[in-house]
């Protein structure tokens, strides 16, 4: 009995000790676990956040448009945008038209961009590239593209006008015997062409209205007095800014608050700009061998409009700096987008067209505008005599204001004379870097020029990514033939004296008569029938006929570097084999061949034109 009792006591003691030991072990384990957890918790949280961020990025954000997988998506977006842009073209009386045909090219500027369509499809359904490529038929995705393209399509209303050209010259008056007895004025109608002008454009960004007046211009040369009567643009207004876009986003995403609509609109615009710049302004610049490429410059695939190219060339001549340096700035600062404002203080970008009437935006030192991102726009614009609101989207004014600041202020600050800079060689880098960096604001870093230079050549003028001002400028420089004086070689003269309006730039387009998307291997210069066409260079005439290839009456002049083609002429005044000097008349503007109206097709090929080595004429010729 006693033994049993003793055993029970021993067992109880052992159990008690075991319980205490287990409790102690648990306490120690908990303490260790808590310490481990405290140590690991931040790591776990960071890991989870990274996973969530990666998941969000790949699920919600589309891959860059310039990836190989996205080419099918981009191609389809371009195709549907092209269709949408010509779906509602008409005269004031309702007569339907089948191509954008504004004589001043305003319809091309206001047309729906493929990046807008692409961005809206993403906003509607978070379309992923994988879903687009998974089904080759892509019926569902294509239907969304088709519908949205139709919904966003612009409507263009045109008016008819005439361009009448007359030539008045003095002719002798003779008697019956043939003796000159006096002089009389004789006027001949050279041409009287019907053209179209954009009256109203209803777009997702607003309704644009244009007013015209009949005006007469006169010029005199050795032949007599040329008088041109035509409608000229005198006023433009914008109403209902962003109204269609806001209503569409509101309905599509079921938004209720106006602030929501505005925020979503800004997100959409930034999405579109991001797609536009990622694809259009990086892919074309470098080919697969990392060499500069001008294959599509000036057309749809380069997104450098003829107006911008012309503005760059004019500024280059005015300020004695090479066009490739200006292009370096335009690419780095805006990717050649005129309608963009960077708001550093707000951490976002907005469209200039949306804020140009807001002084808070237009004269803010932390908000920069346009192609070369000018700060304090209103003040700098007025200093040169420009209206800061009316000219806010004018490429020439944007570049003129910027280059004035660069050359007449920043360069002078460091005694840089652009006419003495070694633009031909490599000396320009060292000679101009201070002035070029000063455009960005920082030249002396903690009173140290050395540190400032280090900053400039790692963050602005040059960057690790190779998209600094000088990096890009050097790529463009490769495309300009430099002459012995260090400037860029111009094919000496413009082929249509006094007529400079480019109605169709170099690049991909919908052919106006064939209605297919193809390369336009030159520029079209709008001019009336009969206007003089002169040779832009000296050389030998290798073609002077109509051979049925679409160019109609065509002249090709060959020199040691280029073949220059002049198409759609009404008449030809040179013959094959003839050696001609620069400036000689070779024919007259016409509309022969595949043409919808009088104009000159001007093409330049490096070497034999039969090899299709066409380049943008505006890279080497200016007016």
3-class SS letters over 596-618? CCCEEEEEEEECCHHHCCEECHH
Position 433 scores a pLDDT of 93
- pLDDT tens column, 88-131: 999 999 999 888 888 777 887 788 988 889 888 877 765 444 45
606 within 8 A of 489, measured Cβ to Cβ = no
Work out the mean pLDDT of the chain and round it to a whole number.
78
Cα separation of 569 and 601, whole Å? Answer: 9
pLDDT value at residue 550:
81
What is the rounded distance in angstroms from the CA atom of residue 361 to the CA atom of residue 352? 9
pLDDT-derived band at 593, boundaries 50, 70, 90 = confident
What integer pLDDT is reported at residue 355 of this predicted model? 86
Least confident of 136-145, 308-317, 463-472: 136-145
Radius of gyration from C-alpha coordinates of the chain: 33
Greater confidence (255 vs 49) lies with: 255
Q: If residue 230 lies in a helix (H) or strand (E), which one and from where to where?
A: strand 224-239
Comparing 15 with 552, the larger pLDDT belongs to 552
pLDDT tens string 54-67? 454 444 444 444 44
Question: In a 3-state reduction of DSSP, which class is residue 129?
Answer: helix
Contacts of 157 (CB under 8 A, 6+ apart): 90, 91, 92, 198, 199, 200, 201
Look at residue 226 in the predicted model and tell me its pLDDT. Answer: 81
The DSSP letter of residue 209 is E
Distance CA 301, CA 297 (A): 7
Residue bearing tokens 């004789």? 186
The whole-number average pLDDT for the span 396-405 is 95
pLDDT (mean) for 483-505 = 65
Distance CA 156, CA 195 (A): 15
How many other β-carbons are positioned within 10 Å of the β-carbon of residue 151?
A: 15
Q: Taking the domains of the chain in order of start, what are their residue ranges? A: 12-60, 68-280, 287-477, 502-619
For the ranges 119-133, 333-347, 481-495, which has the lowest average pLDDT?
Answer: 481-495
pLDDT band per the 50, 70, 90 thresholds, residue 395: very high
Instruction: Please state which of the ranges 269-278, 479-488, 560-569 shows the lowest mean pLDDT.
Output: 479-488
Instruction: Report pLDDT for 494.
Output: 84
**Which residues are within 8 A (CB) of 10 and not within 5 positions of it... i.e. 6 or more apart?**
none
Higher pLDDT, 75 or 29: 75
Lowest-pLDDT range, 138-142, 324-328, 511-515? Answer: 511-515
Q: pLDDT grade, residue 300 (50/70/90)?
A: very low
pLDDT at 510: 60
Q: Which are the contacts of 193, defined by CB distance < 8 A and separation ≥ 6?
A: 162, 163, 164, 528, 529, 597, 598
502-619: CATH class: mainly beta
Which contiguous run of DSSP H or E holds residue 71?
helix 71-85
Range of weakest confidence among 103-117, 191-205, 322-336, 534-548: 103-117
pLDDT for 571: 93
Question: How far is residue 158's CA from residue 86's CA, in Å, rounded to a whole number?
Answer: 13
Q: Which residue has the higher pLDDT, 549 or 151?
A: 151
Q: What percent of the chain has pLDDT over 90?
A: 27
Query: What DSSP character marks residue 47?
Result: H
- Is residue 296 very low, low, confident or very high in pLDDT (cuts 50, 70, 90)? very low
pLDDT in tens, 341-392: 888 777 778 889 888 888 878 877 778 999 999 988 988 999 899 999 999 9
Given this model, what pLDDT does residue 93 score?
92
> How far is it, in rounded angstroms, from Cα 96 to Cα 86?
10
Q: Which residue has the higher pLDDT, 569 or 228?
A: 569
Q: Please give the share of the chain, as a percent, with pLDDT higher than 70.
A: 74
Q: Kind and range of the H or E element at 343?
A: strand 341-343
pLDDT band at 18, cuts 50/70/90?
Answer: low
Q: 433: which 2 tokens? A: 């870097």
- Whether the predicted pLDDT of 588 surpasses 90: yes
Q: Could you report the per-residue pLDDT of 233-243, keeping only the tens digit for each? A: 888 888 888 89
Lowest mean pLDDT among 295-304, 491-500, 555-564: 295-304
Fold of 287-477: Lysozyme (1.10.530)
The candidate with the shortest Cα–Cα distance to 81, out of 139, 144, 150, 127, is: 150
φ/ψ region of 105 (left if φ > 0, alpha if ψ in -120 to 50, else beta) reads: left
């Amino acid at each position: 009995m006693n033994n049993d009792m003793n055993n029970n006591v021993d067992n109880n003691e052992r159990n008690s000790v075991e319980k205490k030991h287990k409790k102690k072990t648990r306490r120690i384990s908990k303490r260790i676990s808590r310490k481990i957890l405290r140590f690991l918790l931040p790591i776990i949280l960071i890991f989870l956040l990274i996973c969530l961020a990666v998941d969000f990025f790949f699920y919600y954000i589309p891959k860059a448009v310039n990836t190989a997988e996205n080419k099918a998506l981009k191609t389809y977006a371009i195709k549907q945008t092209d269709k949408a842009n010509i779906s509602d073209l008409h005269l004031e009386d309702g007569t339907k038209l089948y191509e954008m045909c504004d004589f001043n090219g305003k319809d091309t500027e206001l047309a729906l961009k493929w990046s807008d369509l692409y961005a809206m499809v993403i906003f509607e359904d978070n379309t992923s590239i994988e879903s687009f490529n998974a089904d080759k038929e892509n019926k569902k995705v294509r239907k969304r593209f088709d519908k949205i393209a139709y919904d966003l399509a612009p409507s263009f209303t045109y008016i008819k006008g005439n361009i009448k050209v007359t030539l008045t010259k003095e002719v002798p008056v003779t008697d019956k015997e043939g003796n000159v007895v006096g002089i009389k004025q004789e006027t001949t109608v050279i041409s009287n062409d019907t053209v179209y002008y954009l009256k109203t454009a209803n777009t997702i960004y607003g309704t644009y209205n244009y007013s015209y007046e009949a005006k007469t211009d006169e010029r005199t040369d050795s032949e007599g007095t040329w008088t041109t009567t035509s409608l000229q643009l005198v006023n433009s207004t914008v109403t209902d800014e962003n109204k269609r876009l806001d209503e569409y986003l509101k309905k599509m995403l079921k938004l209720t608050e106006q602030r929501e609509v505005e925020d979503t609109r800004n997100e959409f615009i930034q999405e579109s700009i991001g797609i536009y710049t990622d694809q259009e302004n990086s892919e074309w610049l470098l080919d697969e061998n990392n060499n500069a490429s001008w294959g599509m410059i000036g057309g749809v695939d380069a997104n450098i409009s003829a107006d911008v190219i012309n503005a760059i060339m004019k500024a280059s001549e005015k300020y004695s700096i090479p066009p490739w340096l200006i292009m370096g700035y335009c690419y780095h600062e805006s990717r050649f987008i005129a309608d963009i404002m960077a708001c550093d203080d707000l951490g976002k970008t907005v469209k200039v067209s949306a804020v140009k009437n807001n002084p808070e935006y237009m004269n803010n030192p932390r908000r920069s505008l346009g192609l070369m991102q000018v700060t304090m726009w209103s003040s700098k614009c007025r200093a040169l005599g420009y209206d800061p609101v009316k000219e806010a989207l004018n490429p020439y004014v944007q570049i003129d204001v910027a280059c004035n600041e660069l050359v007449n202020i920043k360069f002078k600050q460091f005694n840089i004379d652009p006419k003495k800079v070694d633009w031909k060689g490599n000396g320009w880098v060292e000679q101009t870097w201070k002035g070029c960096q000063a455009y960005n604001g920082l030249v002396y870093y903690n009173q140290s020029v050395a540190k400032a230079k280090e900053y400039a050549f790692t963050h602005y003028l040059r960057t690790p990514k190779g998209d600094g001002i000088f990096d890009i400028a050097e790529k463009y420089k490769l495309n300009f033939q430099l002459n012995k004086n260090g400037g860029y070689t111009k094919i000496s003269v413009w082929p249509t004296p006094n007529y400079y309006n480019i109605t169709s730039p170099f690049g991909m387009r919908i052919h106006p008569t064939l209605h297919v998307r193809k390369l336009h291997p030159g520029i079209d210069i709008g001019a009336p029938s009969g206007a003089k066409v002169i040779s832009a260079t000296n050389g030998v005439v290798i073609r002077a006929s109509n051979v049925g290839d679409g160019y109609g009456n065509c002249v090709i002049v060959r020199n040691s570097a280029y073949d220059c083609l002049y198409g759609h002429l009404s008449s030809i005044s040179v013959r094959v084999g003839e050696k001609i000097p620069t400036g000689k008349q070779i024919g007259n503007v016409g509309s022969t061949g595949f043409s919808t109206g009088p104009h000159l097709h001007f093409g330049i090929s490096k070497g034999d034109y039969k090899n299709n080595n066409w380049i943008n004429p505006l890279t080497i010729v200016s007016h």
